[in-house]
Amino acid sequence: MFPKALESYQRPRISKRVIDLSICILLLPILLVLLPVLSLLIMLDSPGRPLLFQERVGLGGKRFRVYKFRTMVSKRSNDEERAYMKKYISGEVENNNKTTLHKPIQKNDITRLGKILRKTSLDELPQLLNVLKGEMSLIGPRPNVVWEVEFYKNWHYERLNALPGITGLAQVMGRSNISFDQIASYDIQYVRDQNLLMDIEIILKTFQTVFSGKGAG
């Protein structure tokens, strides 16, 4: 059981939910076309199921299953990644090389198509379904897996005071190239200051970040 979110927690405003639903409905035809096409390409590229269903921690510490296209080979151990992420979240690892991913992923772990999906962020596309279900928003802190949240410092938990997002302030400020404390700080800034103008700016910057491929991980 995780510590409760701070009392400053506020439920997402109706206007934010209306915008989420409106954009998702507009993008739904694209998703219905790309979902089977990309799923087939992923299966042809490497053996294994094309979609992943990972348990993540969302608003107020509530767990949910996030949808994502598979970008890695199916048979790989995440023990090294888990040990590294514990140090990364605890602040024991400095990412001095701004072009280096913070996760210890071997070159052969990522599939050929997976590299493209990650660079373009198309691997996150199925999360539009999570947005439709009300488990996520288009904009918000990225949801961590359960065991990553277990390594949080006390002040990190404030980032759980908003619906998790497909993209967010931390993603446009650095994606995978910044420390977890910096990510949490940006997420908490968003939780406290979120407004429609900020969401629009994040969406526009997300497109710029995706097209540039900066910090893709």
CB atoms within 10 A of CB 211: 10
Q: What is the mean pLDDT of the chain?
A: 85
Residue 111 is which amino acid? T
pTM reported for the whole predicted model: 0.84
- Is residue 4 in some structural domain? no
- Is residue 6 in some structural domain? no
Check pLDDT > 70 for residue 77. Answer: no
What pLDDT, on the 0 to 100 scale, is given for residue 103?
61
What are the two backbone dihedrals, phi and then psi, of residue 176, each rounded to the nearest 5 degrees? -95, 10
Share above pLDDT 90 across residues of the chain, in percent, rounded to a whole number: 59
What pLDDT, on the 0 to 100 scale, is given for residue 108?
73
Structural domain boundaries, residue 29? 14-212
- Is residue 2 in some structural domain? no
What pLDDT, on the 0 to 100 scale, is given for residue 85?
84
Q: Write the pLDDT tens digit of every residue in 140-176.
A: 999 999 999 999 999 999 999 999 999 999 989 876 6
Are the beta carbons of 141 and 164 closer than 8 angstroms? yes
Q: Any idea what DSSP says for residue 107?
A: G
Number of domains, the chain: 1
- Is residue 167 in some structural domain? yes
**Higher pLDDT among residues 97 and 17, named by residue:** 17
Q: Write the pLDDT tens digit of every residue in 79-113.
A: 777 888 888 888 877 655 544 445 656 667 899 99
Residue 210: pLDDT band (50, 70, 90) is confident
Strand-pair category, 63-69 with 137-139 = unpaired
What pLDDT, on the 0 to 100 scale, is given for residue 26?
93
Q: Write the pLDDT tens digit of every residue in 19-58.
A: 999 999 999 998 899 999 999 999 999 999 999 999 999 9
Nearest partner of 50 among 63, 59, 39, judged by Cα:
39
What pLDDT, on the 0 to 100 scale, is given for residue 1?
46
